[in-house]
Amino acid sequence: MGMAELWAISLVLVSTVIGSVGSLFLKLGSAHTGSGIRSFIFNRRLILGFFLYGLSAALFIPALKGGDLSLLYPLVSLAYIWILLLSVKYLRERINAYRVTGIALIMLGVVLIGAGS
């Protein structure tokens, strides 16, 4: 694995974390929306969530240049792990055995894909 591919993997990992934080802010902002457009336009959490989503995509695009799509795209599934951790910490969501099992299977899949590259 070359430096370009390691750089691409790093960008994807950072991108998934930023996108996951963006999702958290979209969730937090959605609690403060009404029926009018003003509740969306002036909602700081929604704006931050959209910005972070855009930043996540902006980081993902150059990563695609430096690595194989078949290796990089499965790494996006790590966002499920970040979302779970953020949801438990900041939204006080509860996790159950099914979610833990699902996360473990995702991690196993990412390891297998990485090992095959």
The pLDDT value given to residue 91: 95
Which residue numbers in the chain have pLDDT < 50?
none
The pLDDT value given to residue 35: 72
The pLDDT value given to residue 1: 67
CA 101 vs. chain centroid, Å, equals 19
Provide the b/e sequence for 59-97 (b: ≥16 CB within 10 Å). Answer: bbeebeebbeeebbebbbbbbbbbbbebbeeeeeeeeee
1: exposed, middle or buried (Cβ count in 10 Å: 0-12, 13-18, 19+): exposed
Amino acid of residue 74: P
Domain that holds residue 64: 3-115
Q: Which residue has the tokens 């990412």?
A: 110
Taking the model in full, what pTM does it have? 0.86
Q: How many domains does the chain have?
A: 1
Amino acid of residue 109: G
* Contact partners, residue 109, CB within 8 Å, separation at least 6: 74, 77
The pLDDT value given to residue 117: 65
The pLDDT value given to residue 19: 98
Give me 46's structure tokens.
């929604």
What would you report as the CA-atom Rg of the chain, rounded to the nearest whole angstrom?
Answer: 16
The pLDDT value given to residue 52: 98
Give dist(CA 84, CA 94) in Å, integer: 9
